[in-house]
Structure 1
Amino acid sequence: MGFELVEATIPQIQAAMESGELTAKQLVLMYYQRIAEHDKNGLTVNSVLELNPDALFIAEALDVERAAWGPRSPLHGIPLLLKDNINTGDKMHTSAGSLALADSYAGEDAFLAAKLREAGAVIMGKANMTEFANFMTNGMPSGYSSRGGQVLNPYNISTPTGGSSAGSAVAVACNFCTVSVGTETSGSILNPSNLGGIVGLKPTVGLISRSGILPLSNSQDTAGPMARTVRDAVLLLNALTGEDKEDAATWTGAGKRHKDYTAFLNAEGLRGARIGIPRDYYFEELTDEQLAIFNSALDVMRELGAIIVDSADIRTAREIKYSSVVLNEFKSSLGAYLAKLGPAAKMRSLKDIIDFNHAHPVQTLRYGQSTLIDAEYTTTGTLTESQYLQDRLTDLRLCKEEGIDATMCEHELDVLLFPADFGARITSRAGYPSIVVPAGYTSAGVPFGIAFAARAYEEPVLISLAYAFEQHHNIRRPPSLRSFI
């Protein structure tokens, strides 16, 4: 039986390449074929924004290198997509989905993009995303950008794609690439991964460098792996991590970062693990169907030896309100990013982007730009506002010290377990890691997952528990990609 592209994992691909059955160049061509048939035709899910014109040459060169010296890493020859807010110093643009930045080329790779090239990955293209990571306006649907249009959920096109890493999730779900990289400020990896039936790992802020990523919030932003299996997500994570002199957040991981996270892939990882369920507040929006899927997942974990602490409520959950942190940090962070694009860049400030949109309203302002305007005219960009400082301190207190930390300490927990991405608001403000894993499907065919969350740099425990659950409850299935038009 020949190599099967659909649902192929990184280990399976490497085995096929090692045997000579497959080359990286052939693999890129296979993905091109699926993109042509289903992303830009047929169901037209619209997840791929731009393809790297040199991808085939890069893949062929890596094939030559493999034959001569062997693979660099498990990612050697693996085609992947990057979210369109991650810089690549090549022939592709980095626009965050904005027409104002449609002609913007980065002068060099983002730190993580350079790490991927070093590992031998093929950066095949850029994934579509919610414009400016869903910070452009109120009421814009997830997965929409003025440059790329609307990403559709391949499981049910009437269901949202979720989060701003929509294209990254959908491309992986549809087997348009092996793995992808998304970014998250508050749910933008977890949410689309949940709705796309894939694994999404949102790491501790600081585990992966943010240098060269068009930002939203300096205190909450992070990139992370998106994959169809926990193992593939971890293999990608290995290549992404590292201390970066340009990103102070990465310095906090000294002595806590692991060279190889595959060491924590433990099929018996649930045995004896103490898992807390914060029932209060976080379950209020669940449908009966979703609740049944979640409770069924708990039954699986109990059978595998987990100790379920139900309920382990977070006492501050209802105190966490709107925060001005992201609004204030956006102007400051974006300005710093634009300044590094060089003197030839057309967009030099947030105001330049707003003015461009005003000058091209039909193309750019289908849903408006109220959030961009608020960030420009109600914040200074200096992070000195009293409200900002108070909100930042409140977020840390309610979400971190008196929230997750206090709950896990009180109940002696290894992790908290949330339905889908419903815990993203509290984990993101704490800067803490989460991983979402598929748990089931609704009667409408929409995926529904569970999300393990822990404290800073406790990715090893998340990986162990998520992998154990996946190995004993592997229910992921690819979308049919049938067009009903």
Structure 2
Amino acid sequence: MGKRSMAMLIAALVAGSLLTGAPPSRASAAGAAPDRASPPGLPWIDLDTVTIPELRARMADGSLTASALTRAYLWRIRAVDPKIGAVLRTNPRALREAAASDARHRRGAARGPLDGIPVLLKDNVNTRDLPTTAGSPALAGRPPHTDAPLVTRLRDAGAVILGKANLSEWANFRAAKPTSGWSAVGGHTRNPYVLDRNPCGSSSGSAAGLAASLSQVAIGTETDGSIVCPAGMNGVVGLKPSLGLVSQEGVVPISAEQDTAGPMARNVTDTALTHAVLTGADPAARPGGGLRGKRIGLWRLPSLGPEVDALMRRTAGELRAAGAEVVEVTPPHQERLAELEFPALLSEFHRDIDAYLATRHGPRNLAELAEFTRTHPAERTCFAGLELFEQALAAPPTTDPDYRAKRAELKNLSRRSIDETMAAHRLDAIAAPTNPPAWKTDCARGDNDVIPSSTPAAVAGYPSLSVPAGFVDELPVGLLLMAGDREDGELLSLGAAVERKLDAWRAPRYLPGS
């Protein structure tokens, strides 16, 4: 989708959000728990459900300031985050940035839809004025010299950088059996729905923080599943953009062939607005679409369990009732993708992390990083393994002909798995379960996260979008939508229609688990 078409979609979503208003908070309807209480000074705004267009409208009429909104989110972080550990640090300049936004609004010089909107950044995104650690003490010293370009875009758009979110250390590319949501710098991030359950990785703090209404939007990053799985498991929306739309410069890498940052929010409208800022889309307008006449291929993945499969079958029925045609599909080549992806990532990680570490104070390459991790006590407080570092050090270089052949085959088969399936069934998108119900966090056992749905789009570099689909008991499950290269706008439009039909979001209750 071109910039003009994307802009028209954004304006349609904004208009729809202002027209329909936010859905009522289920927590409010049932009698809000203390964790869902409105912050001091903003009793008339439900942070759970308010959208960016609604906030903009209040800022425009003078009934809300960016300073008041920022103070509200800082209050919620202080009140709620001790339960979940999503936020590593807040930005001491956040209120100053909000005051600058208020001055622009008073002059009629607001910079766009994110001016004055608080944003959390995953702590592998460079910020010149805040530490960027990837969750490791190895990078906990001096901040980077410059902002990542995506942070520059957010600042230029007037967004308030609220702080840094915890993540799975090194984006879960350290140990053979990691525990998602844990880092040596931030400790454990917990799932706000059931606190002993996992938030999925590696954008765990970004997703859990959104579920707990600690920021209006957040930035995550993904190599394979690390935006969409946390979004699904924490009941929020996450977009993995088409590869190359968002600059990866200044982001701690795993693989330039698959890495991308992307927007996360509690609704598709806010996700789309943030995506527009990150990619430089120019807002203008076009009517929004519904589900009638859309063709969606459902990849059921019953291996994720009978409860998830039952939810997918109910979801298919709801989409059909809204006029969509849903056909069952099984994208080809999945076993071969699973065989090829990890060895390629090992070679790419060695190349790309060496290049990144050379720009930072601390270990200067992967060999030095492995030695730091092996000897630093904080790195062993959940699990001690660094098998992936060691395997990457032993992997063939990216100049090796065998590696090149495998990456070329990966690219070809992953794109064919989506393109051929969509062409054969004349689909607008492929849908699949994003995640199983969250497993219990257990440092000794590690993750239980064999989730194949994210791989085709991740390896192909195509967009994927997770929207809330429903619950298994108290635990959220997402619906993952995939489409072709650069079809991000079409996917967001379809995702907005799916979101309206399923109406599956509900606030977390911070249950203790067992």
What TM-score do you get using the length of structure 1 for normalisation? 0.89
Q: Choose which of 314, 322, 332 in structure 2 pairs with 1:296.
A: 314
Q: In 2 relative to 1, CA 484–189 (structure 1 residues): closer, same or farther, beyond 3 Å?
A: closer
CA deviations over 1:321-357 (Å, ceiling 9, x no partner): 333111110111111112233xxx2221112212222
Hey, what's the Cα distance between the residues in 2 that align with 1:6 and 1:194?
A: 17
Query: In 2, are the aligned partners of 1:275 and 1:416 still within 8 Å (CA)?
Result: yes
Residue 493 of structure 2 aligns with an amino acid whose one-letter code is: S
| Number of the residue aligned with 2:363 | 347
| Number of the residue aligned with 1:266 | 288
Q: Choose which of 376, 387, 392 in structure 2 pairs with 1:375.
A: 392
Q: In 2 relative to 1, CA 180–118 (structure 1 residues): closer, same or farther, beyond 3 Å?
A: same
SS in structure 1 of the partner of residue 107 of structure 2: helix
* Correspondence 1:149-160 to 2 at 5 A: 149-160=187-198
Q: Kindly tell me the number of residue pairs found equivalent between the two proteins.
A: 453
Query: In 1, are the aligned partners of 2:194 and 2:512 still within 8 Å (CA)?
Result: no
| Number of the residue aligned with 2:432 | 418
Confirm or deny that 1:232 pairs with 2:250: no
Q: In 2 relative to 1, CA 274–484 (structure 1 residues): closer, same or farther, beyond 3 Å?
A: closer
Hey, what's the Cα distance between the residues in 1 that align with 2:500 and 2:456?
A: 28
CA deviations over 1:420-445 (Å, ceiling 9, x no partner): 154211211111111011011111x0
Query: In 2, are the aligned partners of 1:99 and 1:364 still within 8 Å (CA)?
Result: no
Confirm or deny that 1:74 pairs with 2:113: yes
Q: Choose which of 145, 155, 166 in structure 1 pairs with 2:204.
A: 166
Query: In 2, are the aligned partners of 1:88 and 1:110 still within 8 Å (CA)?
Result: yes
| Number of the residue aligned with 1:247 | none
Hey, what's the Cα distance between the residues in 2 that align with 1:104 and 1:328?
A: 28
Hey, what's the Cα distance between the residues in 2 that align with 1:481 and 1:37?
A: 13
1:479 shift after superposition:
0.8
Hey, what's the Cα distance between the residues in 1 that align with 2:378 and 2:483?
A: 44
1:372 shift after superposition:
1.1
Query: In 2, are the aligned partners of 1:357 and 1:365 still within 8 Å (CA)?
Result: no
* Correspondence 1:362-401 to 2 at 5 A: 362-364=378-380, 366-367=382-383, 368-376=385-393, 378-379=394-395, 382-401=397-416
1:365 shift after superposition:
6.3
Q: Choose which of 117, 125, 142 in structure 2 pairs with 1:86.
A: 125
| Number of the residue aligned with 1:331 | 350
Q: In 2 relative to 1, CA 359–288 (structure 1 residues): closer, same or farther, beyond 3 Å?
A: closer
SS in structure 2 of the partner of residue 259 of structure 1: coil
Confirm or deny that 1:357 pairs with 2:360: no
| Number of the residue aligned with 2:31 | none
SS in structure 1 of the partner of residue 481 of structure 2: strand
1:20 shift after superposition:
2.3
SS in structure 1 of the partner of residue 102 of structure 2: helix
| Number of the residue aligned with 1:38 | 80
Hey, what's the Cα distance between the residues in 2 that align with 1:263 and 1:322?
A: 44
Residue 393 of structure 1 aligns with an amino acid whose one-letter code is: A
| Number of the residue aligned with 1:196 | 234
1:418 shift after superposition:
1.0
Q: Choose which of 491, 498, 502 in structure 2 pairs with 1:473.
A: 502
Query: In 2, are the aligned partners of 1:154 and 1:174 still within 8 Å (CA)?
Result: yes
Hey, what's the Cα distance between the residues in 1 that align with 2:58 and 2:502?
A: 26
SS in structure 1 of the partner of residue 304 of structure 2: coil
| Number of the residue aligned with 2:40 | none
1:183 shift after superposition:
0.3
Query: In 1, are the aligned partners of 2:86 and 2:208 still within 8 Å (CA)?
Result: yes
Residue 181 of structure 1 aligns with an amino acid whose one-letter code is: I
| Number of the residue aligned with 2:5 | none
1:384 shift after superposition:
1.9
Hey, what's the Cα distance between the residues in 2 that align with 1:264 and 1:482?
A: 42
Confirm or deny that 1:133 pairs with 2:171: yes
Hey, what's the Cα distance between the residues in 1 that align with 2:485 and 2:178?
A: 32
CA deviations over 1:376-400 (Å, ceiling 9, x no partner): 2x035x4123442232122123211
Query: In 2, are the aligned partners of 1:153 and 1:160 still within 8 Å (CA)?
Result: yes
Hey, what's the Cα distance between the residues in 2 that align with 1:54 and 1:314?
A: 48
Q: Choose which of 62, 67, 73 in structure 2 pairs with 1:20.
A: 62
Q: Choose which of 153, 156, 162 in structure 2 pairs with 1:124.
A: 162
CA RMSD of aligned residues (A): 1.9
SS in structure 2 of the partner of residue 73 of structure 1: coil
SS in structure 2 of the partner of residue 475 of structure 1: coil
Hey, what's the Cα distance between the residues in 1 that align with 2:379 and 2:407?
A: 36
Query: In 2, are the aligned partners of 1:154 and 1:481 still within 8 Å (CA)?
Result: yes
Query: In 1, are the aligned partners of 2:374 and 2:386 still within 8 Å (CA)?
Result: no
Hey, what's the Cα distance between the residues in 2 that align with 1:400 and 1:318?
A: 14
Q: Which has the higher contact order (CA 8 A, sep 6+)?
A: 2
SS in structure 1 of the partner of residue 218 of structure 2: strand
1:135 shift after superposition:
0.2
Hey, what's the Cα distance between the residues in 1 that align with 2:295 and 2:166?
A: 38
Residue 61 of structure 2 aligns with an amino acid whose one-letter code is: S
1:320 shift after superposition:
2.6
| Number of the residue aligned with 2:98 | 59
Query: In 2, are the aligned partners of 1:179 and 1:232 still within 8 Å (CA)?
Result: yes
Runs of 4+ in 1 over 3 A off after TM superposition: 262-265, 361-366, 481-485
| Number of the residue aligned with 2:27 | none
Hey, what's the Cα distance between the residues in 1 that align with 2:338 and 2:493?
A: 32
Hey, what's the Cα distance between the residues in 2 that align with 1:6 and 1:229?
A: 10
| Number of the residue aligned with 1:305 | 323
| Number of the residue aligned with 1:4 | 46
Query: In 1, are the aligned partners of 2:59 and 2:105 still within 8 Å (CA)?
Result: no
What TM-score do you get using the length of structure 2 for normalisation? 0.84
